[in-house]
Structure 1
Amino acid sequence: MKLPVKVTSALFACGVLLASLTAAMPAEAAAISCTDTDLPVSGPGLPPLVPGAPAMVHGRLCLPAGDAPDTVQLLVHGGTYNSAYWDLPYEPARYSYQRDMATHGYATFAADQLGAGGSSHPLSLPLSVWAAAESMHEVVGHLRAGRVGGVPFAKVVIVGHSVGSGVVAVEASTYHDVDGVVLTGITHLPALPVLALGAALGLRPALLDGQLGRLGSDPLYFTTRPGARAGLFYAAGDSDPAVIAADEATKDQVSVPGMGTVALFGIVLPATKGISVPVFQVVGEKDVLFCGLLALRDCSDSAVLRAQEAPYYADPSKLSMYVLPGAGHSVALHENAAAYRDATRSWLRDRLAIAPQGYHSIG
């Protein structure tokens, strides 16, 4: 049976329109590319694991669809984490910082700090905040030189979490080689009694941990005890038990010298006084490690917290503050983490004039 000419023409027109819309739609998830790489680094007091061979930092580069952006975020995880913090193997559409940023047009490189993940595992004693900062400085150089994914990034924004934020603060204030700084899971007056109790009850040598025994750790590498992460890093009511389980399954180790020097020189003294570029500081409202009465920090209001933190920066006008409501310490892994990622993108656009590339929303 033949269709009337008008109906046939209308169907043909609809087909053309549908095809053109489909071609115009960004295939975000399918087009995101993530690749792993190893980069040679050095550090003060870090002899090579093999004579004549450098230490290596392992990392994952995630790029959006289309042309590669000219800016990359260098992501530095916290203590007892590795780069899986930024790309958790559970519901990545909701919890992966890297894949969400790529979907929205931003490139990221998540590095495993020395001693964690796929990076080299040197002796823990010399693995201080300065060694960690120097290794990240060298990674910045690799990113700018095009040695990661063949993309020479013109701008680098360095992003830290917790202990990683202390490393980031020292890196940015020492080398002045980045265009912006994001510090998450940190304030300048931690809740010392909570930290002390958490360390005493929640940490143990990685050597004694069956999950991490394969790492060949020395006695000054520590990790969390089974089940400790929920109370230390998460807030009830804003966390998914399956996420906490994935967090436990991907946990890692941290060097005691690293934690100690980060706490003293990266947070308390503070290194942030030497940062000369815009800073975005992010904390969870219910972070028991860095907020509340014992930390002398009011994390219920971003304006109040900004006023408390501003004296620790040489130019307070460059400080922006964001509080993720209801969240605990590990802000990227809470149920409402999308709001924190959105706030980060707004800061990148508004304060650093870094627009998304390789992604365009419809409408």
Structure 2
Amino acid sequence: MLIAQGILARRCQNRTIELLLSARNGIFDNITTPMTDEDATEFALVTSSQGYNATEQALTGEATVSGRYRLSTEYCAPNSTNSTGQGPVLQILTHGLGYDKQYWDFTYHNYNYSYVEHALSHGYHTLSYDRLGTGNSSHGEPKNEIQTNLELAALAQLTRMVRNGSYPGIRRPKSIIHVGHSYGSVQTYDLSAMYPDISDALVLTAFSLNLSFFDLFTAGGNWQQASSSNQSSSYYPPGYLATADADADQYLFLRAPWFDPNILTYVENIKKPITVGELLTIASVPTTSDFKGPVLVLTASNDLPFCGGDCYNTGGSGESVPEGVKKSFPNSKAFHAQIQPNMGHGINLHYNASGAYNYIATWLKASGMGP
């Protein structure tokens, strides 16, 4: 069903698609799935301990995971879209940990924090989705099933459907831009390394390839079972972890005084859990990508998990922490790293979110990726 909403007249279509997926996942038999809130705390303590590589120490092998999975998607187009001529420039949006696709389209403060709203105003079409394990997409076993590789397989198949015109309701696009946030940027980077020709441009927000700070995220979440938070106990089994309160949300995603304090209540109401399998596989990234298109890395000045709270502090080794991503895209025709000031890891939650959106739109058009 098409609906109009927000400041800009838009046409949005919510659709759940079924995907047949297969991925080579890690088997982590050397670590126990946390079953209680106390177990969740111990899991965070163990996996963030000094000198402990959780992925390496807990991994006992690999196995192919296959099955049918539901993916909940939302496609939005500007209401003024011309139905004739060439296809749209489509942005595929992949959210990070702790959220679902709502991250891209916050209704808070009359859509002033909505990335989708901003992209539509510039003529782009958007396709957002709930990653596997969250929101209205399929949930699965949280340790050895819902991991990076399976979620990456879903993103790849979704992209191919759009690219070949088989996704219902979307015209074959002129070009596809993949946009990620945090863990969604990790998956977008992984996608470009595995399938260098699947995308025309990449926008990696809240991202770097320096993962030495991620233990701060693991340790600071005050994790509990999703069933203990505002999530349904029957909806998310043990091993799906959620932040315990708004203080943990603030520590992970926000930086004072650059956000509206009332947004913490909003975040608490829409937050989603993460799986232990995601935490164990987020750092398993390839060294380089052969992607040849333009790449923008846009990271907050005070990003916690990817910059340790200060993206300019490189110990004298470079211009910024995100700038280090450049060496992993040796064939990109246009790479740029932007440090967005006055914000923390949850870019879309800050007063300066619109500044980030404007920068992305300007960069895309300058890189030949305008609609």
TM-score category of the 2 structures, normalised to the smaller one: 0.7 to 0.9
2:108 aligned with 1:90 = yes
2:50 aligned with 1:31 = no
Q: Report the Cα offset of residue 306 of structure 1.
A: 5.7
Contact 1:189 1:297 in 2 (8 A): no
Query: SS in structure 2 opposite 1:273?
Result: coil
Q: CA RMSD in A?
A: 2.6
User: For 1:169-228, what per-residue CA distance to the aligned partner results, in whole angstroms no more than 9, with x for missing partners?
Assistant: 111211231111111111111353xx4344234242434423113453233322212121
Contact 1:292 1:298 in 2 (8 A): no
Task: Please say which of residues 332-341 and 314-323 is displaced more in the overlay.
Answer: 314-323
Q: Distance in 1 between matches of 2:178 and 2:234?
A: 27
Query: SS in structure 2 opposite 1:120?
Result: coil
Q: Report the Cα offset of residue 293 of structure 1.
A: 7.7
Tell me which of 139, 159, 162 is aligned to 2:158: 139
Q: Which residue of the partner structure matches residue 209 of structure 2? A: 188
2:27 aligned with 1:43 = no
Contact 2:88 2:124 in 1 (8 A): no
Q: Which amino acid in the other structure matches residue 269 of structure 2?
A: A
Q: Which residue of the partner structure matches residue 219 of structure 1? A: 238
Residues 198 and 345 of structure 1: CA distance in aligned 2, closer, same or farther (over 3 Å): closer
Q: Distance in 1 between matches of 2:322 and 2:229?
A: 42
Tell me which of 68, 77, 81 is aligned to 1:63: 77
Residues 245 and 207 of structure 1: CA distance in aligned 2, closer, same or farther (over 3 Å): closer
Q: Which residue of the partner structure matches residue 303 of structure 2? A: 287
Query: SS in structure 2 opposite 1:36?
Result: strand
User: For 1:216-258, what per-residue CA distance to the aligned partner results, in whole angstroms no more than 9, with x for missing partners?
Assistant: 3233322212121111101102111222221111111122222
Determine which structure has more spread, i.e. the larger CA radius of gyration: 1
Describe how 1:220-299 pairs up with structure 2 within 5 A.
220-227=239-246, 228-263=248-283, 265-266=284-285, 269-270=286-287, 272-292=288-308, 297-298=313-314
Residues 198 and 355 of structure 1: CA distance in aligned 2, closer, same or farther (over 3 Å): closer
The alignment covers a number of residue pairs equal to 316
Q: Report the Cα offset of residue 86 of structure 1.
A: 0.4
Q: Report the Cα offset of residue 148 of structure 1.
A: 4.0
Q: Report the Cα offset of residue 277 of structure 1.
A: 2.3
Q: Report the Cα offset of residue 343 of structure 1.
A: 1.0
Report % sequence identity: 23
Contact 2:6 2:110 in 1 (8 A): no
2:369 aligned with 1:354 = yes
Q: Which residue of the partner structure matches residue 61 of structure 2? A: none
Q: Report the Cα offset of residue 110 of structure 1.
A: 0.8
2:140 aligned with 1:126 = no
Q: Distance in 2 between matches of 1:244 and 1:153?
A: 37
Q: Distance in 2 between matches of 1:326 and 1:197?
A: 20
2:131 aligned with 1:113 = yes
Q: Which residue of the partner structure matches residue 320 of structure 1? A: 336
2:187 aligned with 1:167 = yes
Query: SS in structure 2 opposite 1:95?
Result: coil
Q: Which residue of the partner structure matches residue 202 of structure 1? A: 221
User: For 1:23-69, what per-residue CA distance to the aligned partner results, in whole angstroms no more than 9, with x for missing partners?
Assistant: xxxx9945211221112222324444xxxxx2111111111132255
Q: Distance in 1 between matches of 2:293 and 2:261?
A: 38
Q: Which residue of the partner structure matches residue 13 of structure 1? A: none
Q: Report the Cα offset of residue 83 of structure 1.
A: 0.5
Q: Distance in 1 between matches of 2:167 and 2:290?
A: 28
- Structure having the higher helix fraction is 1
Contact 2:130 2:137 in 1 (8 A): yes
Query: SS in structure 2 opposite 1:186?
Result: coil
Q: Distance in 1 between matches of 2:309 and 2:135?
A: 35
Q: Distance in 2 between matches of 1:316 and 1:291?
A: 23
- Structure having the higher strand fraction is 2
Contact 2:209 2:322 in 1 (8 A): no
Residues 338 and 91 of structure 1: CA distance in aligned 2, closer, same or farther (over 3 Å): same
Could you tell me which runs of 5 or more consecutive residues in structure 1 were left unpaired when the two chains were aligned.
1-26, 49-53, 357-363
Residues 290 and 257 of structure 1: CA distance in aligned 2, closer, same or farther (over 3 Å): same
Q: Distance in 2 between matches of 1:274 and 1:251?
A: 34
Contact 1:70 1:153 in 2 (8 A): yes
Q: Which amino acid in the other structure matches residue 156 of structure 1?
A: I
Contact 2:97 2:273 in 1 (8 A): yes
Q: Which amino acid in the other structure matches residue 55 of structure 1?
A: Y
Q: Distance in 2 between matches of 1:231 and 1:167?
A: 23
User: For 1:131-177, what per-residue CA distance to the aligned partner results, in whole angstroms no more than 9, with x for missing partners?
Assistant: 11110011112222142424222311111111111111111211231
TM-score of the aligned structures, taking structure 1 as reference length: 0.79
Q: Distance in 2 between matches of 1:66 and 1:208?
A: 43
Q: Which amino acid in the other structure matches residue 22 of structure 2?
A: G
Contact 2:8 2:121 in 1 (8 A): no
Query: SS in structure 2 opposite 1:241?
Result: coil
Q: Distance in 1 between matches of 2:7 and 2:117?
A: 8
Could you tell me which runs of 5 or more consecutive residues in structure 2 were left unpaired when the two chains were aligned.
24-63
Contact 1:78 1:163 in 2 (8 A): yes
